[in-house]
Homo-oligomer: A and B are copies of this chain.
Amino acid sequence: MTDSANSVRAARTPLNPPVRLLMGPGPSNPDPRVLAAMGANPVGHLDPYFVQLMDETMDALRQVYRTRNHHTLPISGTGSAGLEAIMLNLLEPGDSAVVCVNGYFGQRLAELARRSGADVRTIEAAPGEVVDPDALDRMLKERPAKVVAFVHAETTTGAMQPVQDVVAVARRCDALVVMDCVTSLGGVQIEVDEWGIDAAGSCTQKCIGAPPGMGPITVGPRAMAAVRGRKSKPGTWYLDLALLFQYWGETGATRKRAFHHTAPVANIYGVHEALRLILDEGLEVRWARHEAAHLALVLGLDGLGLSLFTPAANRCPTINVVRVPDGVDEARVRSRLLDMGVEMGGGLGALAGKVWRVGVMGTNARVPTVEHFVGALDEALRAEARVHSGTTSSARDTTSR
């Protein structure tokens, strides 16, 4: 064994995780009712009760995505698996795709597309900026693409891409439009049908309010026609949409279900409950709650002398990217916060070490929760300032940030 005897002993003690307020880029804290649902009586994946639950989950997900797409389900993997499912089913060798890249998750979306064997071009924007639809238009006029993909809310930079211009440009060359809405679904307005999105993928652990583990996707009729018209099978059996919907239920008169893989029953219990809570709250109310919490956060950060990295015009309320002040050891501040039971995220990719990332997501997207967070961050920054100034706590009020 490569691990020490100590670690083996540790694995033999029951779990006792610390209490955390999860204010990073996700996971957020699920509502306690979601965690309770995951521990409800287990049933089999072919049980009539569970089959009904699958239908209900698909239906609730359609409402959250604002779509009539039958082909809407949670993939049995995390958000990345859902997006990979979309890319590997829509694209095959010989196809062409254009992916909008304005951060780490745009790069990843392009990489997911490349694994299909398709030819993938990228159109880039600087961190914090969004992709220019005119530049996309020029690229597509040079050579059209079967798929145009973009990230709605780029989790590394906090930038939210305006959707409708991208869709209009993509549709001019008849491209299928794929949207990564991992960080936005359930927290800001998404209108899959009205906006003309052909396929979208998200996660469960951010604004949906369940633990990580499933990848909710929706696939529209134009995209499903492309899936059915493939020359070759997708390079994945596990994420093969045609097979998945034989189990989850196809459209039309025949509702017979064929076994595919054993569905993750507990995760689907959790997603079902999280979606129920969303619909119970109401989508518009929920979006407004995220916006209000975001504004409270910006105000609070301003009070600490901190500013957002993302230009105001581009900001997604659910993910707030904050500049680290000069001379501050950003990792030590995060570590201090974690010691107080509060998690925030560091920068990823090009922004590593330069920013913090604060999620305002799901049940944590409430003004009092944000105030709790700002207070804890204030205290962590004071402690950090004391290290730098070498002063004792009596000097704390004179430190400037």
Q: Does A393 contact B (CB under 8 A)?
A: no
* CB <8 Å contact, B18 and A212: no
CA A88 – CA B84 in complex, angstroms?
14
Question: Given A11-B56, A42-B30, are A236 and B236 also a contact pair (CB < 8 Å)?
Answer: yes
**B contact residues around A265 at 8 Å (CB):** 27, 211-212
Chain A residues 77-111 with CB under 8 Å of chain B are 77-81, 84, 88, 108, 111
CA A239 – CA B45 in complex, angstroms?
24
The residue in chain B whose Cβ has the minimal distance to the Cβ of A34 is: B39
The listed residue (B7, B55, B77) touching A55 by CB distance below 8 A is B7
* CB <8 Å contact, B76 and A78: yes
Most buried by B among A39, A55, A203: A39
* CB <8 Å contact, B60 and A262: no
CA A28 – CA B108 in complex, angstroms?
37
Q: Does A125 contact B (CB under 8 A)?
A: no
Query: A269-303, CB under 8 A of B: which get 1 and which 0?
Result: 11011011001100000000000000000000000
**B contact residues around A60 at 8 Å (CB):** 8, 11
Question: How many chain copies?
Answer: 2
CA A272 – CA B60 in complex, angstroms?
31
| Number of residues of chain A lying within 8 A (CB) of chain B | 96
* CB <8 Å contact, A276 and B76: no
The residue in chain B whose Cβ has the minimal distance to the Cβ of A44 is: B343
The listed residue (B16, B24, B49, B267) touching A267 by CB distance below 8 A is B267
* CB <8 Å contact, B17 and A45: no
Q: Does A59 contact B (CB under 8 A)?
A: yes
Most buried by B among A22, A53, A261, A338: A261
* CB <8 Å contact, B233 and A115: yes
**B contact residues around A44 at 8 Å (CB):** 20, 22, 24, 27, 343
CA A250 – CA B11 in complex, angstroms?
19
CA A138 – CA B74 in complex, angstroms?
45
The residue in chain B whose Cβ has the minimal distance to the Cβ of A264 is: B213
The listed residue (B13, B15, B59, B68) touching A11 by CB distance below 8 A is B59
Most buried by B among A37, A63, A237: A237
CA A29 – CA B41 in complex, angstroms?
9
* CB <8 Å contact, A266 and B88: no
CA A42 – CA B36 in complex, angstroms?
13
* CB <8 Å contact, B80 and A238: yes
Most buried by B among A43, A70, A212: A212
**B contact residues around A80 at 8 Å (CB):** 237-238, 261-262
9 chain-A/chain-B pairs, Cβ below 8 angstroms: A1-B59, A38-B266, A42-B211, A81-B238, A81-B261, A115-B233, A211-B265, A212-B264, A235-B235
- Give me the 5 closest cross-chain CB pairs, A-B, nearest first: A213-B264, A235-B235, A11-B56, A211-B266, A35-B39
